[in-house]
Amino acid sequence: MKNTIKFLTAMALAMVIIPSFGQEEEDIFELSLEELMDIDIYSVSKKAESLFDAPLSSSTLTKEEIYNAGATSIPEALRLVPGLIVREMTNGSYDIHLRGFDNINRYGDGTSSANQITLVMIDGRPVFNYNLGGTNWEALPVDLVDVERIEVVRGPSAPLYGPNAVAGVINIITKDVDQEGVIANANVSAGTDNTYIGGVRLGYQFNEKFSAQVSGNFQRRDRQDDEIFLYQQNAYGDPGNDNFETGVERNGVNLMLDYAVAEDFNIGVQTGLQRAEVVKPFTQNTTTPFSQSVYESEYVNLAVNKGGLAGRFSYTTGFDDLNKGAAQVLLKYDYSIVDANLEYNWNLSDKISVRPGFSYQSAAYNNEDYVDLSQGTIGVFQGEQTVENIAGSLMADIEVTEKLRLVAGGRVDKFNSPDEAYFAYQFAATYDINDKNLIRAVVSKSNSGSFIGPNFLDVQLPPANLYYQGDKNLDLFQIQMFELGYRTKLSNKLELNIELFRQQAENTNALIVDIPQAPYTPGGDYFRYVNMPAESVQNGVTLSANYVPSSKVQLKPFVTFQKTESENLASSQSIFGLADLSDDENDQTPAVYGGFYLNVKATEKLTVNFNPYFMSEQNQYSFYDNVNPATTVGEIDSRLIVNAKVNYMINNHFNVYLNGRNLLGDEKAEFYGTDRTSMLLMAGASIKF
C-alpha cells in the first residue's frame, strides 16, 4: 500500500510540475510529411482510423516512445502500455499478462502461470507456441531495432485475429524503408550484469517500387541474483552450478523485401532466423522454478495486398528444448507451422463495409529425433502430432448515422482436435457525442486455440510407473467480455480514455494427479489433462491519458484497477482437489497496476525520460504451495520500478545516452520464485542515417 501511495504521489507531482514547462509547440512539429500522413493505426478494427475513434480498447506505442523511455527489449517496452502486467523474472526475461486472469487454477507448474491467452503477432503473423500456448518473448526474431510501433488491443478479439486473441492482441509492426537510397540505424548499449544489447538495420530503396532491408539483433544478459530459489530449502540458495549464470542470450537476423507492383498492389516478403537461450520458470522442475530453455526458429512470411484483398502466408519451423540439461528430454521437439489467411474488404457503400475472411493453420510438433522409449528417453508426446484449424470470418462495419457506428464480427473455427467448431463474436458500437467526446460499448467472446500438449500428451511406461495422458476432447478456454469506454479531448493538449470492463473466463484445463489404474500402482506418476471447474469473473477499470503541454513535454499516465473472483477453485491439481472446491479472489493478478511516461526535452539536444511502473502486492501460487503450505515465496510485495533515460543528441545522426532501469534498486522478486532483480545501469549510442 505504501508503494501505491508513492506511485500516485509521483504521478501527481509530475502533473503539477509539467504545466510550468514551455508552451511553444507540439511533438508533432518534429514529424515528416509521411509521418503526418500516417498518424493512424490499423490493428484496432483492421481499418485505418484514428485511435480516438477506435471501437475497441487499444493503445499504440511508437518507436520514439520506446527509444525515449529506454526500454531494453520488446517485452519491457510493454510496461509503457495501459492494461499490461509485466513482471521481470530475470535480467531480460519477462512474464506478460493482458488484464490478468493469471494462473486461475493456481497449483500447476510454471507453464500454468504463463500467459497462454494473448495473441502476439509480428506484422500480423502469429508468433505463438502451439505446444503449450503462449509466447516465448525471447524467441522473437525481431527486436527493438526493427520496431516501428506496437499496437495492443485489449479484450477478446478472435473474430478479427483468430483464436488465442482471448485476452487481447499485441501486434508488433516493423519498420519500412521510408526514404530513397540508403537508410541505416543502429543502437548498441552495455551495462551492469554483463548486459550487452544491440541492433543494426540497413535498408535500401532501389526505386519507387522496390526496397529491401536487413537487420540483426543480439542480447546477452547475466542474471542479477547470485542465488536461486530452491524448493528443498524453501529459500534462495547457491545454485550449485553455473548453468544459471546467463539469464538471456539471444540473436536474430531478418530480411524484408517490399515491392509495390502498382498503386494498389503490394507484395512483401519477410524472412529470418533466431536463436535464444534463456533461464525462466517454465516446466516443472524438482529443484527450482527455473528451467533453461533453448529456442531456435526460421520463418518466411509473404503478404500480398491488392485493392481490398489482403492475403498472408507464413511458414515457421523451429526447435525448442524447454528443459535443457534435464535427465529426460520431455519437452524437446521440432515444429513447423503453416499459417495462411485471406480477407477481402468490400465497401458496399460509403457507410457500409464488410470483410469476409478465410484462415487456415496447421502446427505440427515432432519429437521423434529426441525420444527413444526403448532407451528410456521420454518425451511428452510420441512422434509427430498436429493441431489444425480452418476458419471463416465475417466483419461488418456500419455507419448508422453520422454519430453512430456499429462493428459486428463473427468467426467459426473448426479444429481437428477437439473435433469441434467454435464461434467467436464481437459487437462494438461507438457514438460521437461531438468531435471531442466519444462513448463506446463492446460485447465479445473468444476462445483459445487447441494446443499439442493438452491434446497429445502421451507417456505410458508401466515399468517406470509413469502415466501422463492428454485429452483430445477438452473444451477450449474462453472469455466473454462487456466493456464500456469513454474518450474525451479535454483540450488539444489532453486526451483522456476510460475503459470499464467485466470479463468472465471458463474452461481452463490442467494436468491433474489421478488415482493410478492398473498396471500403474501408487507411488509413481499418474497424471491426466482435464477441464477444470473454475470460473473467474473480473471487473476493472483502466484510465489513461495523453498530455502534451508543449513541444518539450509529453506525459502519458495510465492505471488499471481490477478485481478477479474465482468460483469452484480446486484445492490442488489432483482428483482430491477437484472434490474440494471453494470460491476465492484471484489475487495473482495485482489489484492496481500502471505507470507513466514522462518525456522532457530539457534543451534542443538533451532529453530526459522518466517512466515508472507499478504493481500492487500479489499472491502467486504453484504446485509447491501444496507440497509446502508454509512457503511464502508466492507473496509478492508491491513493486515500484523506476526507470529513467538521459539522451544527448550530438547531431541529427548520432545520439548517446545513459539508461537506468529499476533505479530504486529494491531487490525483490516479481514472479514466483524467480530472481530478486536489481538496478541495471546502461550506456549506449544510436546512429541513424
Positions that interact with another protein (CB under 8 A): 1, 4, 8, 11-12, 15-16, 18-19, 24-26, 28-29, 31-34, 36-40, 47-50, 53, 208, 489-494, 496, 541, 543, 545, 547, 549, 551, 557, 559, 561, 591-592
The CA distance from 512 to 529, in Å, is 6
Which positions ≥6 away from 470 have C-beta within 8 Å?
381, 453, 454, 455, 456, 457, 458, 528, 529
| Short-list 276, 197, 224, 195, CA closest to 89 | 224
Cell of 448: 483459445
Sheet strands side by side (includes 57-62): 57-62, 147-154, 168-174, 118-122, 125-126
Residue 109, φ and ψ in degrees, nearest 5 = -100, -170
Smallest gap from Cβ 641 to another protein, in A, equals 19
Smallest gap from Cβ 398 to another protein, in A, equals 16
Nearer to another protein, 558 or 657 (CB): 558
Please report which helix (H) or strand (E) contains residue 624, including its range. Answer: helix 623-627
Nearer to another protein, 231 or 614 (CB): 614
Smallest gap from Cβ 28 to another protein, in A, equals 6
Smallest gap from Cβ 598 to another protein, in A, equals 13
Rg of the chain over all Cα atoms, to the nearest angstrom: 24
Nearer to another protein, 373 or 541 (CB): 541
Smallest gap from Cβ 407 to another protein, in A, equals 14
Q: Is the peptide bond before 239 cis (omega within 30 degrees of 0)?
A: no
The CA-CA-CA angle for residues 208, 211, 215, to 5°, reads: 155
399: Cα separation from own chain's centroid: 32
The CA distance from 407 to 483, in Å, is 14
| Short-list 392, 387, 439, 386, CA closest to 413 | 392
Smallest gap from Cβ 537 to another protein, in A, equals 17
Nearer to another protein, 446 or 554 (CB): 554
Nearer to another protein, 242 or 350 (CB): 350
Amino acid at the residue 246:
T
Smallest gap from Cβ 214 to another protein, in A, equals 25
Smallest gap from Cβ 25 to another protein, in A, equals 4
Location of C-alpha cell 518507436: 63
310: Cα separation from own chain's centroid: 25
Q: Is the peptide bond before 159 cis (omega within 30 degrees of 0)?
A: no
The CA distance from 38 to 48, in Å, is 10
Nearer to another protein, 11 or 276 (CB): 11
The CA distance from 154 to 164, in Å, is 13
Instruction: Write a three-state SS string for 159-215.
Output: HHHCCCCCCEEEEEEECCCCCCEEEEEEEEEEECCCEEEEEEEEEEECCCCEEEEEE
168: Cα separation from own chain's centroid: 9
Smallest gap from Cβ 18 to another protein, in A, equals 8
Instruction: Please say whether the beta carbons of 470 and 455 come within 8 A.
Output: yes
Smallest gap from Cβ 37 to another protein, in A, equals 6
Nearer to another protein, 16 or 630 (CB): 16
Nearer to another protein, 38 or 298 (CB): 38
Nearer to another protein, 25 or 226 (CB): 25
Smallest gap from Cβ 33 to another protein, in A, equals 4
Compute the residue count for the chain.
Answer: 689
Nearer to another protein, 599 or 622 (CB): 599
Cell of 447: 476462445
Smallest gap from Cβ 501 to another protein, in A, equals 15
Cell of 529: 489433462
Nearer to another protein, 350 or 419 (CB): 350
Smallest gap from Cβ 216 to another protein, in A, equals 30
Nearer to another protein, 39 or 421 (CB): 39
The CA distance from 559 to 594, in Å, is 4
Smallest gap from Cβ 654 to another protein, in A, equals 21
Cell of 26: 507540439
Instruction: Please say whether the beta carbons of 636 and 617 come within 8 A.
Output: yes
The CA distance from 96 to 93, in Å, is 10
The CA distance from 544 to 487, in Å, is 10
Nearer to another protein, 149 or 645 (CB): 149
Nearer to another protein, 34 or 635 (CB): 34
